[in-house]
Amino acid sequence: EIVLTQSPGILSLSPGERATLSCRASQSVSSNYLAWYQQRPGQAPRLLIYGASSRATGIPDRFSGSGSGTDFTLTINRLEPEDFAVFYCQQYGSSPLTFGGGTKVEIK
Amino acid sequence: EVQLVESGGGLVQPGGSLRLSCAASGFTFSSSPMCWVRQAPGKGLAWVASISASGGSTYHADSVKGRFTISRDNSKNTLYLQMNSLTAGDTAVYYCAKGNTFGDFWGQGVLVTVSS
């Protein structure tokens, strides 16, 4: 089973700043099959990125994903008030599908 | 508009059973693999089970294998999760999601509480 470790656990930033979130895998993620989700309080997760760097439909271009192998990054440029939430990475390159523990982006 | 609406959750005693349903609309359900993902209170996400578009192939997490069964009825555009031998560790919000690799659309979830 691939274990995904997200860091930091909590990121305190101000609106307009850039957020950089990390997701590290315990072994290489096949074909860079890595997704990122945003979950606002009381809401369902929303797909942001798949295939490590492809934005999902309707996702603003201030969200970008990068990385390969075992190290992946989600970058959010110019944080908007609605961006403050918990973010999860997920690998789907091998079974079982696994998620990281999440990074909370909070308002500083 | 894609919609996924879960139902069937609630309070159940340890050892009991529940069947969750997920009604789908706004896309071609019969062509879409689907899955269930759960989230324990205050915790992260955990994949539970996936099913192919036809229903011919299913996959379950080791933690639920032998107790939970994913299924679908394409004539009713509905996904199911039969949950048996429930334990306190199964307490969570259960989400259905479109897709069986990554979830490109999620329902709002249904709470399952296992307690005596």
What are A79-108's pLDDT values in tens digits? 999 999 999 999 999 999 999 999 999 999
pLDDT of residue B47: 96
Backbone angles phi, psi at B88, to 5 degrees: -60, -30
Strand partners, A98: A91
Q: Distance from CA of residue A20 to its chain's centroid?
A: 9
Q: Which of B8, B22, B18, B42 is nearest to B106 (CA)?
A: B22
- Which residues in chain A have their CB less than 8 angstroms from residue B37's CB? 45
Closest chain A residue to B6, measured at CA: A44
Q: By the CB < 8 Å criterion, does B1 face chain A?
A: no
Per-residue pLDDT of chain A (108 residues; tens, 9 = 90+): 999 999 999 999 999 999 999 999 999 999 999 999 999 999 999 999 999 999 999 999 999 999 999 999 999 999 999 999 999 999 999 999 999 999 999 999
Given this model, what pLDDT does residue B34 score? 98
3-state secondary structure at position B77: coil
Determine contact: B104 vs chain A, CB below 8 A. Answer: yes
**pLDDT on residue B82:** 98
**What is residue A59's predicted lDDT score, i.e. its pLDDT?**
97
Per-residue confidence (pLDDT) for residue B20, from 0 to 100: 98
Q: Which residue type does A100 have? A: G
Q: In this predicted structure, what is the pLDDT of residue B95?
A: 98
CA distance A92 to chain B (A): 5
Q: State which amino acid sits at residue B75.
A: S
Length of chain A: 108
Q: Which residues of A touch B (CB under 8 A)?
A: 33, 35, 37, 43-47, 50, 56-57, 88, 90, 92, 95-102
Taking chain B (116 residues) in runs of 10, the rounded mean pLDDT of each run is 97 98 98 98 96 96 97 98 98 96 95 97
